Every structure is written in C-alpha cells, then in structure tokens.
Chains A and B, each alone.
Chain A
C-alpha cells in the first residue's frame, strides 16, 4: 500500500503547478484550467486522507468539489464568451474594465 504521505506530496506538487499557471498564463481559459488543476490536487489529498482515516466523508467532499467546479467552469466560460463578444479580445492583461 502506497503511503498517504506520497499522495499528499504529489498533490502539493500539482497544486503548486496549478497556482503557477494561474499567475503566469494570460489566456483566461488556461487560467481556468490551472484552477481546475488546483481543485484536482485538493481532491487527491482529500481522497488520500479519506483512505488514511477509513472514513468516506473525504470522498463525499470530493463530490461537492467536483460539482462546484462544474458550476464554476460553466459560469466562467460564459463570462469569457460574453467578454469576447464585447471586446473581441480575452487577454487578461488587457482587461481592466474595473480599474478606477
């Protein structure tokens, strides 16, 4: 049986990669994908801990995370489409509508 620690370390690495992607990439779709990567890393840690403690609640939380991620992706992509329609450009560095 692979130790829980190994899974948690893998989940840390994936989370750090996702966080890096959010900051580095400027295509908003890629930023979203990086957020998904981070959520997945968190899910992996939850499942690993669920097995560690022999308790199914950790797996339950993964369900909720997946559901919320699906909702978030749907709304986020709709926002991107709406922004693209008005500005014909989705580079997040050039999106400063709300700047004072």
Chain B
C-alpha cells in the first residue's frame, strides 16, 4: 500500500517535471514545478520529515514560486520568441547529458547491488528514566565490608542497559538527570552496586518508539529491591492541567489512596474527593489531571507512619505532602509521583514523595529535533546562511535599484553667467541701472515699549 502511494506520487512528480520541461509557456512551467514541489513535500512526509514538508510547501511552493511567477509576468517572458527557436544543437546535448547521468547512476546502482551502505544504526528515539525510590536500610554496612556491600548498604547503584553502562552511582531521591536514550525494542536493564558490574537485579523491559519509560527502583530490604517499569502516560495534557500518576513504593503499604486534603471523611472512612484509589504496592495509578488554577492540595493515606486519623473502624495514616514545596506541578506536563519512604535518623520510615517529570523523547524529524540541531549544534552555519541571505537581499536591491536613464540637461542650453545681469545691461545701454532701481531700505528698528 505504502509502496503504491510512493509509486503514484513519484510518477506524478516525474510527470510534473517533464511537463515543466516541455511546456512552451513559462507560467505553465512554473505551475507544473509547484506541482512537483508538492509531490516532493508529500514524499518528505513519507520519509518522517513533517516539518521539512511544511517548509518545502511554504518556502518553495510558496515564496520562491511567487517570485518566479512575479518576474515572468513582470517581464512578459511567458514565451521565448519563436524566431530564436533555432538552437545550434537542439535537444541533443540535453538528452545526451540526461542519458549519461542516468547511465552513471545505473552503474552506481548496479555496483552497489541496489544496497546502500551497511546496516544502519538504529535510531535512538525512546527514553528511559530511572527513579531511585529505595530508602536507605536501617543499619549501615558492617565494618570491613567490600565495595559492593558498602554500595548496596548506601543504596548507590549503577544501571546497565544491554551490558552498557548508562547511569553511574545514582542515589536515593535521584529523579533528574537520570534519563537516557535507547532504541525502541526490548532491553535488559541491570542493577548493579555502584562501581561494580555485578548483576544485582535484572529486568526485561520493552519500549516503543517515541515513548518514555520510567523505571522505579524500590524496596526496603536488600532482597526486596526491584526495578519496576511505571505505566506510561497516554493522556494528552490539556492547557492549565498537569497529568500526574502515582506510584506506590512505600515499603509497608499494601495499598494507598491519594485524596484531596480538604475532603471530608465519611463515617465509613471513605473520602469525599479521592484523586486515585487503591494503588497496590509496586503499581502505578491511573492518570489524575490536576487543574492548576484550582487548589491542588492532596494527601496520601494508609501506609507510612505519620499522623493517624481514626475514622470508623479503620485507622488511616495521613501523609501531608501538600505542604512540602518540592511538589510543584507545572501545566501541560506529565509527572510520575513516587510515594516512598525516607529513613529517619531513628530508623523509622517517614513517607516521602519523589516527583519525576516525564520528558518526552524527541521524535525523529520533529520541529524540536530540527530546532535543537539548527540552533545549538549548527548555530554557526545558520548564522553564516543568515549572512548569505542578507548579502543576497542587498545584492538584489543594488541590482534592481539602478537609476533610469534620464538625459542630463545639455550644457548648451544654459549659459554660464559670470557677471551680474545688471552690469551687462548697464554696459549695453550706457545707463547705470543700479542707481535707478529702488533700493530696499532696511526697516527701521522699532522700539517696542512694553506697557507695564
């Protein structure tokens, strides 16, 4: 199906190019060329370059072709005069050149066997992110333990993906700077104590192209440490709204609810406005949408060891996370919020919240990728091209702003007068003209008295 589409559009492009070549009228040629450009823009879309396709239509089919049509119509150059149609060699050199080019290309295609290059590098267009939510153990590493034991006791880990080191020495609470790009497909993620390549835990995860996958490292004891992939976001985030998912990594909570902190308790212990309910340990909640124009006070109940609320016959444990300034959601973004524990100095686990912003991977050919490349990696060439455009602009102005030929006033028409006219007249008539002419008398100074 896709190949049929390609064949159709490609044939259209070739037909438009040939029609452009053979049409007598230059305006028709320009219109056929626009058709060709549109076909090429469609092919760009098929080649995963949507932004380029739009630029092709706007700049080529729009701006440049308007310039062409404008000049054609300005000069009235639709048709070349029929008299000058006699060309020395006619179509022969063109056809010969085209044949030669085709021959060269055909030889190239034959030599390479129709195969271009070797196996291409896979596009790295998926993101993986690790959130370290495994609290420090109660007791430190014993004296004289080896490096790996100390690293485990301090919960410092390295992350390997398919045997390649991706993250080094991440510690509890690490949520930022822990993302890396991977290719789409299945990967084996390995957790090792920092500084060693000893596999402690491995997890097999699958990421799709254009997806961001968050792995949560959780567990209280050394044996229960695990890497669990959180469910990816699928909701499109609306304006003024943040999408939030909660991950239960609180070691001694089998299930947690997240509710509005201002909501009232029913007699049977239910809350009026739950946000997400019954998130099992190691599971991800549904996406909750926070409208950020309204207050978004929320709290986690059941689990942890903070403030106990007696309601009915159930005991709730309130975790006031709303008051901590670290939890700040910004609109139009997606956040994975990991509810976990923080080891207090007395050895107990205090509930803690880690916020990890979901960074969407840069999709190949998207304006973001192009922009990043253009304005960061290729900033200098872009400046040079801008200078070139400026030079072209000035050149065009200089070329077209030539003054029209206005015949200069000839010197014969105007006689240079070296003497004043009055003296010439005086010498011809013999009378002194100057004395008869009324002289302008300087106006007498008027003294104005300003009345006081």
Contact = CB atoms under 8 A, between A and B. Distances in A.
B74 interface: yes
B77 A27 contact: yes
B84 interface: yes
Given A77-B67, A81-B400, A93 B84 contact: yes
B165 interface: no
Interface size class of A (residues with CB under 8 A): 35 or more
B43 A44 contact: yes
Contacts of A75: 392, 395-396, 399
A70 B63 CA distance: 8
Contact of B370 (A21, A37, A63, A84): A63
Nearest to B58: A66
Interface in B340-387: 364-365, 369-370, 373-374, 378, 381, 385
Given A70-B63, A91-B84, A52 B117 contact: yes
A59 B365 contact: yes
Most buried by A among B49, B51, B117, B381: B49
A97 interface: no
Contacts of A40: 36-37, 40, 60
Most buried by A among B37, B46, B114, B392: B392
A18 B116 CA distance: 24
Contacts, number: 219
15 contacts: A12-B105, A13-B102, A19-B97, A50-B47, A51-B47, A53-B121, A59-B51, A62-B52, A63-B55, A67-B385, A71-B391, A74-B393, A81-B74, A82-B402, A90-B77
Closest 5 CB pairs of A and B: A54-B123, A71-B392, A24-B94, A23-B94, A78-B399
Interface of A: 1-2, 4-10, 12-27, 29-30, 32-34, 36-37, 40, 43-44, 47-57, 59-60, 62-64, 66-75, 77-82, 84-85, 90-91, 93-94
Interface of B: 2-3, 6, 10, 13-14, 17-18, 20-21, 26, 29-30, 33, 36-37, 40, 43-44, 46-49, 51-52, 55-56, 59-60, 63-64, 67-68, 71-72, 74-75, 77, 80-81, 84, 87, 91, 93-95, 97-98, 101-102, 105, 109, 114-117, 120-125, 364-365, 369-370, 373-374, 378, 381, 385, 388-389, 391-393, 395-396, 399-400, 402
